[in-house]
Chain A
Amino acid sequence: MFDSEFLKRLEYLSLLSKRVFQGQLLAQRRTKQTGGGVEFADHRQYMHGDDLRYLDWNVYARHGDLLLRRFQEEEDLHIYILLDCSRSMNSGQTDPNLKVDKFTFARQLAAALAYIALSNLDRVSIIGYDDKIRATMPLARGKDNVLSVLRFLEKLETSGEATHLSAVVGDFVRRAPRSGLVLVISDLFDQTGFRSGVDLLRHRRFEPHVIQVHTPSEANPSVLGDVELFDVESNQSRKVTVTEKKLRQYQEMFQAFLRDIETYCKTYGLSHTRATADIPYDEVLLKMMRVAGAVS
């Protein structure tokens, strides 16, 4: 899925969290706790029984005070990748201008992000969902789990007749052992509204990152005339006559939809990345997400 050069570049990246979460294991992320890290935090009075290795002998030599050096604890971060597996993600399979379809593109993004997290010794869990959680990869840590991540993503298939992010998030927050970073990769064509799901994540002190993917044909469809529009997700159809005027209205409506999501994310300080499937996923990671503040 990835070439070695790209993987090398991924290893220099890390997923950014605007908040500090409490981890379980020692890792590369600072926590509120002080402990066995390498980065100096402050001093405290020596107490009987303290490890003499942490005494600051320089201070004792200058001032005669026995002060003990304290270091900031570095723990791991829980990163959850919510990957939209609804049938609407199947779009672009027949588009000759696209190298990969939308769902494959989303899985590539998820894999890359998981690799970044694993490289940073963070704990990664991937949840495939449509109107409910369809598949879950349990929290994994360390680069040894990269293959299992890829296998999990490889087995994922689109399914379901609807997308219901709020229901999925409700189930997810109950299952998640600890709050953390939640990367939502979806086209956001959520019939019942994705906002309530993202809001629930925020309220439960998760930090959501929205990665919106779509295909160019979804933004600028070329259909004209009398057609039967068939929703691949809900299996519903509409017999309509599409004129040039209607096409222009559609494009305007889609752009308004995109602007609406962007505005929502800005309002709540969420990082938001929008990518079309014709853009290489490495460019999305290395440029667009970096610009959006999702990775550093």
Chain B
Amino acid sequence: MSLASPERLMWLLIAVPIIMLYILRTRLKRQPVSTLLFWDQLFDQKRQRSWLQRLRHWLSLLLQLAFVFLVIGALTDPLWTGQKNETRQVVIIVDNSASMAAVGDDGQSRWEAARQKALGIVAGLRGGDEVAVVTAGSSVRVPVGMTDFAPAARDAIEALQLTDGPSRALAAIDAAKRLTRSPERRRIVLISDGCFEGAQTLEGQSGVDLVLAGETANNAAITALAVRRSLVDPIGYAALVEAEYFGDEAIDVRVTIDLADQLVDVIPVKLEPGKPWSKTISGASADGGLLRVKLDARGIPDGLAIDNEAIAVLPSRPRIPVTLVTEQPSLYLESVLGAIPLVDLTVATTVPTQAPAGGFLMLHRVVPEKLPSGAVFVIDPSGDSDAWKRGRQIEQAIIARQDTASPLMPHVRLTNVMLPGAYELEMVDDATPLLVEAGGATLMASLVRGDDRLVVLAADLDSSDLPLRIAFPVLMTNAVNWFLGQTGELQPSLRTGTLAEVAIDGASASSLGLNDARTARSWSWRDAAGHVAPASINGDAAVIGPVDRVGLVQIGPLSLLQPPQPSESETARSGTTAAAEPFKVAVNLCDRGESDLRPRVEAAKTDVDIGGSGRRSLWFYLACTALGLITAEWFLYQRRVVG
């Protein structure tokens, strides 16, 4: 036999004060009396057993000392023979996914029940056992690695937070297996509500115990919200809403849609169990805002509240000022620019000193001595500038190659198109050649210099059929988007627990300094709960996630990230366009697996015994004996019958 915690033997010192107290106790309070005549008669019967009387207090001392020795013996946690070699590595996986927030009929949430079970497991660990804590919600995290210090695991469990993400139970089990070194000593306990895909596969796994927390519950949820721009209306949008009831009987609910706190529609819906309901709601708004879809399930069994609402950010669509400078009217250019939605076209003959804010300047056969700052599109330049040199004229220029990777060229196919009279371009700085003719001369190029953007097309529109091709308006639209960075485009809502690449529109990228390498390094994201994490920048996109909380996520330089506001609709309205405002993107649960609060497993444990060896630890018996002794001592010596 050995002791798991021999250092606790120092508690034996507590016997010293007990003996001292015993000595003090035996010095009884002295009560002077006139005579012992009556007292002797009174205690005469006990005096007949005087040998027992003499032993009386000694026996009390012995009982007390035995109690102390037994308690300290229990504290040292003596191990049975061979028990020392049976120390285990227990990994407690706590499912803190969104479905664990469901509240049962008894008012206790699954999450609280799970935490209590986890704490119970930690409390039942023996000395020498190792324990680790892993969370399986939204993302797999390891708050406490394998340790034999149970209080650390207990503190970690008490500090665990619920997430709004989907369950990652299977991934957590894989992580737990990697945490343990000895498979034969491994014991994995997954505490979950069983509401995740693949729960059935756990039933046959050895070494993995699924402990159910909470009971089955019915739930109504919004399972999808997808918003897109209207194909025919530049300020229009269409929202696809899908809802489902995970229960036994059909229910009547109301779906409420509002945009920027303005009611858009209220739809009464009858949800049939197992039959998703979906509807596309169309609307138009140039100002945009936060589109919020709510499921009013009052009065019906609804276990989870978080999935009764979904949001999407609908950015505003600003007008795009475009100044066309030409010495002679250009029907093609005016027509194609005027056809682009939201473009405010201004035709001028003099070159302004800078491009219009939020728009761009188009120079047609006009070349100023110094190019204006900002976004400039030059078509058929009449001479050289500080950015390019116009080379030789090519009589029959045939486009042999185009840059398909450039954002200016999506859906543009100009290969083998002839551009008679086009000029060769020699860009001063490193520019991106977009169109190259068969002889290798560049006919079109783009250039980015700081905040300035320049596109040069050295082709005569009047002598070629380029304006008549479908590629030309597409090219112009691409140019507008490249100059403005897709301002006002819809950003799809994200789902909790996923890693997402969020495209930052041009205006926001410009105002937030995404193109500045130093600023870009400080880009972070903050979720609705205030959690801040760094974002990685990939071109014009920020990679964030996995996000734990539903709500609006702010993306931008760390200094601009604001604490979550109580009312997010107003900030969301101007969030993507105003300067020095972080970019915002909506995050929803929208997970059928999490919204379905019915466990996927048929038979699972509601509790787990990790006793392992089949018999209780020795400390338990010692503690029971100590309890019996102290009870006997109290009964024999300390009990007082009053009254």
Give the B-binding residues of A (Cβ under 8 A).
Answer: 88-91, 102, 187, 189, 191, 214-215, 218, 221, 223, 225-234, 236-240, 243-246, 249-250, 253-254, 257
Report B201-243 residues with CB < 8 Å from chain A CB.
none
Given A239-B28, A245-B641, also A229-B33 (CB < 8 A): yes
| Chief secondary structure at chain A's binding surface | mixed
Cross-chain contact B39 with A189 (CB below 8 angstroms): no
| Sample (24) of A-B pairs whose CB atoms are under 8 Å apart | A88-B34, A89-B34, A91-B34, A187-B35, A218-B33, A223-B31, A225-B29, A227-B31, A228-B29, A228-B30, A229-B31, A231-B35, A232-B33, A232-B34, A233-B34, A237-B30, A238-B40, A238-B43, A239-B28, A243-B640, A244-B643, A250-B38, A253-B42, A254-B38
Cross-chain contact B41 with A253 (CB below 8 angstroms): yes
State in angstroms the CA–CA spacing of A89 and B28 once bound together.
24
B438 CB to nearest chain A CB (Å)? 118
Q: Among B33, B36, B38, B41, find the residue whose CB has the most chain A CB atoms closer than 10 A.
A: B33
Cross-chain contact B32 with A232 (CB below 8 angstroms): yes
Residues of A near B641 (CB, < 8 A) are 243-245
State in angstroms the CA–CA spacing of A294 and B33 once bound together.
30
State in angstroms the CA–CA spacing of A90 and B34 once bound together.
8
A116 CB to nearest chain B CB (Å)? 28
State in angstroms the CA–CA spacing of A252 and B25 once bound together.
30
Cross-chain contact B28 with A231 (CB below 8 angstroms): no
Cross-chain contact B30 with A230 (CB below 8 angstroms): yes
Residues of B near A102 (CB, < 8 A) are 34
Q: Select from chain B the residue with minimum beta-carbon distance to A92.
A: B34
Residues of B near A226 (CB, < 8 A) are 25, 28-29
Q: Among A215, A226, A250, find the residue whose CB has the most chain B CB atoms closer than 10 A.
A: A226
State in angstroms the CA–CA spacing of A257 and B42 once bound together.
13
Q: Mark B18-57, 1 if CB is under 8 A from A, else 0.
A: 0000000100111111111111111100000000000000
Cross-chain contact B42 with A218 (CB below 8 angstroms): no
At the interface, yes or no: B642 with Cβ under 8 Å from chain A?
A: yes
State in angstroms the CA–CA spacing of A213 and B37 once bound together.
16
Cross-chain contact A218 with B34 (CB below 8 angstroms): yes
Given A227-B31, A243-B640, A245-B641, also A189-B37 (CB < 8 A): yes
Q: Select from chain B the residue with minimum beta-carbon distance to A249.
A: B42
Interface size class of B (residues with CB under 8 A): 20 to 34
Residues of B near A237 (CB, < 8 A) are 30
Cross-chain contact B37 with A238 (CB below 8 angstroms): no
State in angstroms the CA–CA spacing of A249 and B42 once bound together.
7
Known: A228-B30, A253-B42, A257-B38. 16 other contacts (CB 8 A): A90-B34, A91-B33, A189-B35, A214-B34, A225-B640, A231-B33, A231-B34, A231-B35, A233-B34, A240-B39, A244-B642, A245-B641, A249-B42, A250-B38, A250-B39, A254-B38
Q: Select from chain B the residue with minimum beta-carbon distance to A244.
A: B642
Cross-chain contact A227 with B35 (CB below 8 angstroms): no
State in angstroms the CA–CA spacing of A91 and B33 once bound together.
7
Q: Select from chain A the residue with minimum beta-carbon distance to B643.
A: A244
Given A244-B641, A249-B42, also A238-B36 (CB < 8 A): yes
Cross-chain contact B35 with A233 (CB below 8 angstroms): yes
Given A88-B35, A229-B36, A250-B38, also A240-B43 (CB < 8 A): yes
Residues of B near A250 (CB, < 8 A) are 38-39, 42
Residues of B near A254 (CB, < 8 A) are 38
Residues of B near A189 (CB, < 8 A) are 34-35, 37
Residues of A near B640 (CB, < 8 A) are 225, 243
B600 CB to nearest chain A CB (Å)? 66
Q: Select from chain B the residue with minimum beta-carbon distance to A247.
A: B42
A2 CB to nearest chain B CB (Å)? 27
Residues of A near B40 (CB, < 8 A) are 238
Cross-chain contact B30 with A238 (CB below 8 angstroms): no
State in angstroms the CA–CA spacing of A199 and B9 once bound together.
71
Q: Among A215, A223, A229, A231, find the residue whose CB has the most chain B CB atoms closer than 10 A.
A: A229
A223 CB to nearest chain B CB (Å)? 5
Cross-chain contact A191 with B33 (CB below 8 angstroms): no
State in angstroms the CA–CA spacing of A90 and B33 once bound together.
10
A225 CB to nearest chain B CB (Å)? 8
A165 CB to nearest chain B CB (Å)? 14
State in angstroms the CA–CA spacing of A249 and B46 once bound together.
14
B130 CB to nearest chain A CB (Å)? 50
Cross-chain contact B34 with A227 (CB below 8 angstroms): no
Residues of B near A223 (CB, < 8 A) are 31
A83 CB to nearest chain B CB (Å)? 16
